[in-house]
């Protein structure tokens, strides 16, 4: 794999100030720099870590990376904590090898980080960016408590979210030109993170086994064995995709039986790989241009459009957040007769009348992910078979967040809002239940791929849910 190595001097110059902002009005003090790692859980290709490292080096102070393990993150079950903690364990060891201590705090992140910064007499705190309400609230509280600056660095988007646009965009077509106009400036190679001098700060490495044992999480959703967590596995996954599946992506990506997709979304969600690094590796690969273009459209435009949606629309995970035309048409058709009506229990157990839908739900439960094309069908049918559109919205978010390893992500909220609520889409011709929301049915799927084969690939619900 080619690494984009730069000199130390370039290192210091590469962190674009437009990627950073300060969330309170305090000034830097002497003392260690803390990187409050949150959304971007990696050592490599991480602008927030590079910014914190540069600040520490300039001040001649140590850098400490701190992760605050919240007692509950949007009700995430054990599957998600397991994936995240294994990834963090790997990253913590890699950080320590370059003399950057890693601390794991347990408790409410805003309080824990503020307390740790005060106790350790830190001089500045740096964190990464997330548009989700829960993270914004933590940061707002921490920024108010701290008497040192809290810097925020967008290490997730290629074009920083707040810089790409200052409002909620209507659709991909309105954000695309804004991003494309900035890619030359922001889609730049990463400097390698260089070791710091050995730290003088006292710290204790986490006992990962004990941390896992202490977690009182819902263990009914077990880890997914098929996707290995961590930065190394993420990098290998990317290289495998480029080598064996990127060529052909444009034509095969809508066939759920083809294994054409990158499978990178869990790694991107937990920040175990950088989207910018993925984009650079794909762009420099020898795959046909049409495949690279199709993939980069998803990775850059669609993904950053989701962050834009959540950043500027605080109701992103509720029916209230969908466009006015969609709300109106769905409510107008709220009383239409539904051919089938299911409760969350039936959906969750993949026990509807529709084998194709059940297969998609089984895929979600078993593999922690649904193929991108089937995700649309899955969500639209929840709308069709629920007693009301707001209830459908809530159930789709619940199921996606509970089982999908890449759930609790702006992409998931935008995906549900697109499928059920016409977000980033346009009105289509009117029909019962859906109103003007774009419709999808099994015959459409049959025209695109071998539906029977897809159904046969996933176990029957009875084996999947033995207690059902």
Is residue 422 within the footprint of ligand FAD (CB under 6 A)?
no
DSSP 3-state of 246: coil
Rule CB under 6 A: choose which of 82, 128, 291, 406 binds ligand FAD. Answer: 406
Task: Measure the CA–CA gap between 192 and 7, rounded to whole angstroms.
Answer: 9
Reduced 3-state DSSP string for 302-329: HHHHHHHHHHHCCCCCCHHHCCHHHHHH
Rule CB under 6 A: choose which of 306, 308, 352, 362 binds ligand FAD. Answer: 306
Task: Measure the CA–CA gap between 316 and 314, rounded to whole angstroms.
Answer: 5
Contacts (CB under 6 A) with ligand FAD, residues 237-256: 253
* CB-based burial, 229-244: b 16+ in 10 Å, e otherwise: bbbebbbebbeebbee
CB of 438 to ligand FAD, least distance (A): 11
Classify strands 20-22 and 150-153 as parallel, antiparallel or unpaired. antiparallel
Tokens, residue 217: 């999480």
Task: Measure the CA–CA gap between 422 and 393, rounded to whole angstroms.
Answer: 12
Of 189 and 372, the one with the shorter C-beta distance to ligand FAD is: 372
Residue 367 has φ and ψ, to the nearest 5°, of: -110, 5
CB of 124 to ligand FAD, least distance (A): 31
Binding-residue pattern over the window 352 to 381 for ligand FAD, x denoting contact by CB under 6 A: --------------------x--xx--x--
- CA nearest 412: which of 383, 445, 370, 442? 370
Intra-chain end-to-end CA distance of the chain, in Å: 47
Is residue 69 within the footprint of ligand FAD (CB under 6 A)?
no
Of 55 and 369, the one with the shorter C-beta distance to ligand FAD is: 369
Give the interface size with ligand FAD as a residue count (CB under 6 A): 28
Rule CB under 6 A: choose which of 164, 310, 404, 440 binds ligand FAD. Answer: 404
Of 162 and 295, the one with the shorter C-beta distance to ligand FAD is: 295
Task: Measure the CA–CA gap between 436 and 306, rounded to whole angstroms.
Answer: 22
Length of the chain: 468
Per the CB < 8 A criterion, the answer to whether 242 and 13 are in contact is: no
Is residue 258 within the footprint of ligand FAD (CB under 6 A)?
no
* Candidate segments 57-65, 67-75, 109-117, 413-421, binder of ligand FAD by CB under 6 A: 413-421
CB of 303 to ligand FAD, least distance (A): 4
Is residue 86 within the footprint of ligand FAD (CB under 6 A)?
no
For 102, the enclosing helix (H) or strand (E) is strand 102-106
Of 19 and 303, the one with the shorter C-beta distance to ligand FAD is: 303
DSSP 3-state of 196: coil
Return the bridge partners of 105, or none.
68
Of 63 and 159, the one with the shorter C-beta distance to ligand FAD is: 159
Of 192 and 263, the one with the shorter C-beta distance to ligand FAD is: 263
CB of 359 to ligand FAD, least distance (A): 15
Of 105 and 242, the one with the shorter C-beta distance to ligand FAD is: 242
Binding-residue pattern over the window 108 to 147 for ligand FAD, x denoting contact by CB under 6 A: ----------------------------------------
For 124, the enclosing helix (H) or strand (E) is strand 124-128
Task: Measure the CA–CA gap between 80 and 75, rounded to whole angstroms.
Answer: 10
Per the CB < 8 A criterion, the answer to whether 430 and 436 are in contact is: yes
Per the CB < 8 A criterion, the answer to whether 332 and 435 are in contact is: yes
CB of 395 to ligand FAD, least distance (A): 12
Of 116 and 378, the one with the shorter C-beta distance to ligand FAD is: 378
Of 113 and 242, the one with the shorter C-beta distance to ligand FAD is: 242
Is residue 276 within the footprint of ligand FAD (CB under 6 A)?
no
| Count of other CB atoms within 10 angstroms of residue 207 | 11
CB of 117 to ligand FAD, least distance (A): 32
For 174, what's the count of Cα atoms within 13 Å in the CB-facing half-sphere?
Answer: 12
Of 22 and 294, the one with the shorter C-beta distance to ligand FAD is: 294
Residue with tokens 């157990």: 349
Rule CB under 6 A: choose which of 42, 53, 80, 303 binds ligand FAD. Answer: 303
Contacts (CB under 6 A) with ligand FAD, residues 384-403: 400
* Candidate segments 178-186, 357-365, 405-413, 423-431, binder of ligand FAD by CB under 6 A: 405-413
Rule CB under 6 A: choose which of 34, 299, 330, 392 binds ligand FAD. Answer: 299
* Candidate segments 5-13, 73-81, 311-319, 409-417, binder of ligand FAD by CB under 6 A: 409-417
Of 52 and 404, the one with the shorter C-beta distance to ligand FAD is: 404
Cite the DSSP H helix spans in 313-409: 324-332, 344-348, 355-367, 372-384, 389-403
Of 55 and 402, the one with the shorter C-beta distance to ligand FAD is: 402
Cite the DSSP H helix spans in 146-202: 161-164, 172-186
- CA nearest 149: which of 20, 60, 38, 15? 20
Kindly list the residues in this chain that would bind ligand FAD in the complex (CB under 6 A): 253, 261-265, 268-269, 298-299, 302-303, 306, 372, 375-376, 379, 400, 404, 406-407, 409, 411-412, 415-416, 418-419
């Amino acid at each position: 794999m080619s690494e984009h190595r730069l000199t130390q001097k370039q290192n210091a110059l590469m962190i674009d100030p437009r990627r950073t902002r300060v969330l309170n009005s305090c000034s830097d003090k002497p003392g260690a720099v803390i990187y409050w790692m949150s959304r971007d859980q990696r050592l490599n290709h991480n602008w927030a870590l590079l910014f914190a490292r540069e600040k520490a080096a300039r001040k001649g102070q140590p850098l400490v990376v701190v992760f605050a393990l919240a007692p509950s993150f949007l009700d995430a079950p054990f599957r998600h904590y397991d994936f995240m903690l294994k990834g963090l364990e790997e990253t913590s060891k890699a950080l320590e090898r370059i003399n950057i201590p890693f601390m794991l705090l347990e408790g409410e992140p805003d309080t824990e980080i503020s307390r740790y910064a005060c106790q350790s007499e830190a001089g500045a705190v740096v964190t990464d960016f997330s548009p989700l309400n829960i993270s914004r609230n933590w940061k707002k509280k921490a920024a108010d408590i701290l008497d040192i600056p809290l810097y925020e660095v967008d290490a997730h988007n290629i074009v920083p979210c707040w810089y790409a646009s200052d409002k909620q965009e209507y659709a991909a077509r309105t954000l695309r030109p804004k991003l494309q106009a900035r890619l030359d400036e922001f889609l730049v190679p990463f400097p390698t993170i260089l070791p710091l001098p050995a730290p003088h700060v006292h710290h204790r490495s986490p006992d990962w086994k004990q941390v896992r044992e202490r977690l009182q999480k819902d263990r009914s959703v077990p880890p997914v064995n098929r996707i290995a967590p961590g930065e190394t596995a993420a990098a290998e996954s990317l290289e495998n995709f480029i080598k064996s599946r990127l060529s052909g992506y444009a034509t095969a990506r809508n066939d759920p039986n083809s294994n054409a997709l990158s499978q990178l979304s869990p790694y991107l969600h937990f920040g175990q790989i950088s989207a910018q690094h993925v984009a650079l590796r794909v762009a420099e690969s020898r795959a046909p241009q049409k495949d690279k273009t199709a993939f980069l459209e998803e990775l850059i435009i669609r993904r950053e459009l989701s962050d834009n949606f959540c950043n500027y629309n605080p109701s992103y995970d509720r029916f209230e957040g969908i466009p006015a035309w969609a709300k109106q048409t769905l409510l107008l058709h709220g009383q239409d007769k539904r051919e089938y009506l299911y409760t969350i229990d039936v959906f969750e157990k993949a026990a509807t009348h529709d084998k194709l839908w059940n297969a998609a739900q089984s895929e979600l439960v078993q593999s922690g992910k649904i193929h991108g094309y089937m995700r649309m069908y899955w969500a639209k049918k929840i709308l069709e078979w629920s007693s009301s559109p707001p209830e459908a919205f809530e159930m789709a978010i619940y199921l996606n967040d509970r089982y999908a390893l890449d759930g609790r992500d702006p992409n998931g909220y935008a995906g549900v809002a697109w499928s059920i609520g016409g977000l980033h889409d346009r009105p289509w011709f009117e029909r019962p239940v859906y109103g003007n929301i774009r419709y999808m049915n099994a015959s459409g799927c049959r025209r695109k791929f071998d539906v029977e084969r897809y159904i046969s690939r996933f176990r029957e619900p009875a084996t999947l849910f033995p207690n059902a």
